[in-house]
Amino acid sequence: MKKIVIAVGVIVAGLLVAPKFIGSIVEEEREKSVMELNKHDDVILTTNQYTSSWFGADVSSELTFNLEDDGLGEVTVLLEEKLTFGPIIIADQGLQFGLGYSTMTFKLLSVDIDEDITQLLNEKIHLGALLGFNKNVTAFISTDEVSIEEDGSSIVSAPSSAQFTFIDNKEISGTFSWGGLELKEFGDHFVVGKVNMTTEQKVARGDYLQGTAILTGDANFKVSKMSMTSDNNTVFSLNDAELNSVVSLDSELLALDLKYHAKDITTSGQTFEQPNLEIVLDNIDINALQELNTAMENLPASNAVEYDIDQNNVDDVQTEELMAALADVAQQILAQKPRLKVTDLSVETAEGKVESQFTFTLNEDLVDTNNLNSMALIMALEADAKGQVPVGFLDSLGVTPMVDSFVEQGYFTKKDNMISFDAKYVQTQLTLNGKAFQM
């Protein structure tokens, strides 16, 4: 029995002593994070006060964003942070294990916002961060229900919660859930149902904090319902919509696969079931994109130093440098023959399924990278498309006579109550079913 008592005493003593030593680790890691963040030209985090105790610390900081490029100047946020040292932490999310946990409140200093609004935001928005034993950081964000009524209008935002984990600023994973939104105003009623999102991504190139990161991985977004009614008449509705995106990297080439699906959609008095859209963008040179990211990140800072008197000179030089960077990147990207493919664009109608596929490419030999404008890109665009539409659906739209005319001219094919087409677009010439189309 004495051995058990002694063992328990040692454990308790260890838990009481540990926070003091863990506190120095938390402070050191925090200073490292501040140094990394301050490498970004447009963000500065200044610690005004760090008061440490045995089990935690109180921190007061100012976070300043340089938003001059957006016409907003500098925006400063006062952060009041309460740190709790591990190894065992009781947080809003329950019992946590880690080196430290931080809860934060904030106040905008450089923007004229009513004190009551700041207080409301701090009451409704809850921010926290957990520093794990492996030095990973997990951010927690949650909101309470917000309900506002004014002059016959009302808005209700349901509670939400998010949790994102950052591993050495190289990997990001997390989840987000929101109960939705309801807005009523003068006979109009807008509703967003439950929303859920998950993501798991890695930094393939660049720096996340510097804003130059190129991410690979997947993300999933779901919304149970979106609807808009006016005087009880449906203007638009969408049910059980889901969007999936996957960015992959193979042999220095990026590929994006985007898939959209919904149960049904109603618009302009018509309802369609099973709308689908799948887009694949591939053969994108990651090194070229990284060069562009770096050039655009450095562009404002370099020009502001050299041309801080004549703003017109600043704009002219920025434009020239940006166009030069775009031309170089365009050459590298076009050399890999990128493609945009719409592998599935379809919807179920009462008369049958409407479906089509498209492929778009740019002819490298026809693109003048030193003169990138819309007309030049149109000249270099090449496209293939195939699809079919039920005759009954065309009847419902009232376009059957026009379509029949195209069938007679050989542009479309009519078979088994389906209208189909096979289109190609090369050097501004459109052909349908192998026949040049004349406007």
For the stretch 379-403, pLDDT in tens is: 888 999 999 999 999 998 889 899 9
What per-residue confidence (pLDDT) applies to 227? 94
Average pLDDT over residues 271-294: 90
Q: How far apart are CA 244 and CA 219, in angstroms?
A: 6
Average pLDDT over residues 53-59: 83
**Residue 301's pLDDT band (cuts 50, 70, 90):** very low
Which three-class secondary structure state does DSSP give residue 179? coil
Position 66 in a domain: yes
1 or 207, which is more confident: 207
- Is residue 94 predicted with pLDDT exceeding 80? no
User: Which span out of 80-89, 182-191, 359-368 was modeled with the highest average pLDDT?
Assistant: 182-191
What per-residue confidence (pLDDT) applies to 150? 82
Looking at 194-280, list the stretches that DSSP marks H as alpha helix, in order from N- to C-terminal side: none
**Residue 104's pLDDT band (cuts 50, 70, 90):** confident
Q: How far apart are CA 330 and CA 368, in angstroms?
A: 9
Contact 146, 125 (CB under 8 A): no
Position 168 in a domain: no
Contact 415, 390 (CB under 8 A): no
What per-residue confidence (pLDDT) applies to 254? 94
303 or 437, which is more confident: 437
Position 20 in a domain: yes
Position 329 in a domain: no
Contact 126, 137 (CB under 8 A): no
Q: Please state the domain count of the chain.
A: 1
Percent of the chain whose predicted confidence (pLDDT) is above 90 = 39
For the entire predicted model, the pTM comes to 0.80
Amino acid making up residue 438? Q
327 or 13, which is more confident: 327
Contact 51, 82 (CB under 8 A): no
What per-residue confidence (pLDDT) applies to 78? 86
Cα–Cα nearest to 126, from 101, 152, 97: 101
Contact 209, 169 (CB under 8 A): yes
Rounded alpha-carbon distances, angstroms, from residue 317 to 195, 310, 320: 44, 11, 5
Average pLDDT over residues 180-196: 92
Position 94 in a domain: yes
What per-residue confidence (pLDDT) applies to 17? 46
Percent of the chain whose predicted confidence (pLDDT) is above 70 = 84
Average pLDDT, the chain: 82
What per-residue confidence (pLDDT) applies to 22? 67
Domain that holds residue 15: 1-144
pLDDT digits (tens, 9 = 90+) for 193-245: 999 999 999 999 887 777 778 999 999 999 999 999 988 888 899 999 999 99
Residue with tokens 């008592």: 5
Q: How far apart are CA 325 and CA 288, in angstroms?
A: 10
The C-alpha angle with vertex 350 and arms to 406 and 388, in degrees rounded to 5, equals 35
What per-residue confidence (pLDDT) applies to 310? 47
Strand spans (E) along 231-263: 233-250, 253-261
What per-residue confidence (pLDDT) applies to 4? 44
Cα–Cα nearest to 179, from 218, 201, 153, 147: 147
314 or 127, which is more confident: 127
DSSP letters for 342-404: EEEEEEEETTEEEEEEEEEEE-GGG--TTS--HHHHHHHEEEEEEEEEEHHHHHHHT-HHHHH
Q: How far apart are CA 384 and CA 182, in angstroms?
A: 43
Position 263 in a domain: no
Rounded alpha-carbon distances, angstroms, from residue 97 to 15, 18, 58, 129, 396: 12, 13, 20, 12, 62
**Residue 13's pLDDT band (cuts 50, 70, 90):** very low
Position 122 in a domain: yes
Based on the number of CB atoms within 10 Å of its own CB, is 29 exposed (0-12), middle (13-18) or buried (19 or more)? middle
Cα–Cα nearest to 87, from 138, 18, 37: 18
- Is residue 314 predicted with pLDDT exceeding 50? no
pLDDT digits (tens, 9 = 90+) for 322-344: 677 777 788 888 889 999 999 99
Give buried/exposed letters for 162-175 (b at 16+ CB in 10 A, else e). ebbbbbebebbbbe
